[in-house]
Amino acid sequence: MLKGPARLAAIVIAATGLGTLGAAAQDYTLRLHQFLPETSTIPREVLAGWAKAIELESGGRLAVELYPSMQLGGSPADLYDQARDGVADIIWTVIGYTPGRFPTAETFELPFIIRDGKTTSRAFHRFMVENSGDEFDETHVLAFHTHGPGLIHSQKPVRSLEDMAGLKVRGGNRVINMMLEELGAVPIGMPVPAVPENLTQGVIEAATIPWQVTIALRIAELVGYHTEFEGETGWYSQTFVLTMNKQSYERLPEDLQEIIDEYSGEDLAAWMGEAMDEDDYYGRKIAEEAGNEIIVLGPDEVSRWQEVGERVTERWIGEMADKGYDGAALLARAKELIEESANFVEDEE
């Protein structure tokens, strides 16, 4: 019997052409709010299918309305609080948009520990269930996940550490900004939807994002260079959460809660990571077709970046100790779970 994402995918495929089940049949409606255009990877490939599957599984009693691009108001940094306060029933957001608020998640943002999105997302969800304590207790978490390996998209070529000196770079979270500082760049934090405008206006000269994000934001049209890192592990990743207002979940009848539960958890996290992996391929292909230069840093140069990454990690471990966390133990467990997930995904395939 198909389970998790595979079952969801089968339901969605079978449902194509059926349309909706009709507003009259809907007893409960959940509003899902998020920060990216509906054409972006997760909104298009996961959230839309997830909403459809829940509607079909409930026989039309439960509907999920999708609100992309902050249509319900506020900024991306407000999304978690919107789920907590009931402004939205469900939100999807980057955890790092609220720096320092969820310190355990930063473990998976550290340099050179992640693999592909699917592998890392499965590990990250399990890690957060084990280790996040009460950090997310104000909401009902549906899935934690990451994207695939992050890289640099720039208007000037980045071929070595020296090319980062003084470069104005958008950093997506606190840990990435720490890395940029250590590299001698000028980190400028901003939510990812703001990247195109700031590249055009010269506020930034480069951005740290994965390939899949470049598609909806048309980044290949705004830069001429893309810098990747050779090796088994990626330079960095962002962490994400799909989470729900507690009261919105608790007011549902038990059978509808069971449907939400069935399409939550580790398998959903892995599906989200896999969707990002697939669009990483297409994002890279678009840059190639645009005639942009894709720079791949080889082992010798990557080792220099890894040395900088080790300094960032040591700094982070010290900061975590000040907050009462054992950062070294969290990092060791993260690496262990990523390795376990890599073996699981390999066996699965």
Residues 6+ apart with CB under 8 A from 235: 111, 112, 149, 150, 151, 229, 305, 309
Which pLDDT does position 8 carry in this prediction? 55
Residue 82 pLDDT > 50, yes or no?
A: yes
Contact assessment for residue 210 and residue 153, using Cβ atoms and an 8 Å cutoff: no
Here the tokens at position 108 are 């998976």
**Is residue 154 a contact partner of residue 227, using CB atoms and an 8 Å limit?**
yes
CATH topology of domain 151-235+290-348: D-Maltodextrin-Binding Protein; domain 2 (3.40.190)
Please tell me the distance from the alpha carbon of residue 84 to that of residue 148, in angstroms, as a whole number: 28
- 304 CA to centre of own chain: 26
Identify the helix (H) or strand (E) that includes residue 84: helix 79-85
Tens-place pLDDT, residues 184-217: 999 998 889 999 999 999 999 999 999 999 999 9
Within this chain, domains 4-148+238-278 and 151-235+290-348 share the same CATH topology = yes
Q: Taking the CB of residue 138, how many other CB atoms lie within 10 A of it?
A: 14
| Boundaries of every domain in the chain | 4-148+238-278, 151-235+290-348
CATH fold, domain 4-148+238-278, is D-Maltodextrin-Binding Protein; domain 2 (3.40.190)
Would you state the structure tokens that stand for residue 76, as one six-digit string? 């991306």
228 membership: H or E segment, kind and range: strand 225-229
**Cβ–Cβ under 8 Å, residues 90 and 244:** yes
pLDDT in tens, 138-161: 999 999 999 999 999 999 999 999
With 0.85 as the threshold, say if the pTM is over it: yes
**What pLDDT score was predicted for residue 14?**
52
Widest pairwise Cα distance in the chain: 63
The share of the chain scoring above pLDDT 70, in percent, equals 91
